Amino acid sequence: GYKEKIVDIREEILRKRRAGKLPGDTTSVLKAWWQAHSKWPYPTEEDKARLVQETGLQLKQINNWFINQRKRNWHTNPSTSTALKTKRK
């Protein structure tokens, strides 16, 4: 009944609280790859497999890190990005 649902919700909250930043040594490996491939930061499947081995992360975590990194830090053409921002307003 209710007790089981409360336990489930509590476990979910604790899981989410544990989620967060990746360890520094892990991100340094990912950032090193990012720096080396800054013009086109899309790792191949082989690159991703190697990064999984080097970092101990899951493939999904690697993929998400690169998606977030590109959204936050990759500016291919500044004039295009400002044009897009202007259109959104």
In the block, tokens 């921002």 appear at 85
pLDDT, position 86: 52
Question: pLDDT per residue over 30-65, tens digit each?
Answer: 999 999 999 999 999 999 999 999 999 999 999 999
> What would the CATH number be for the domain defined by 21-73?
1.10.10.60
Give phi and psi for 43, each to the nearest 5. Answer: -65, 145
Report if pTM > 0.75.
no
The full set of domain ranges for the chain reads 21-73
Give CB contacts under 8 A, 24+ apart, made by 57-66: 57/22, 57/26, 61/22, 62/30, 65/22, 65/27, 65/30, 66/30, 66/34, 66/41, 66/42
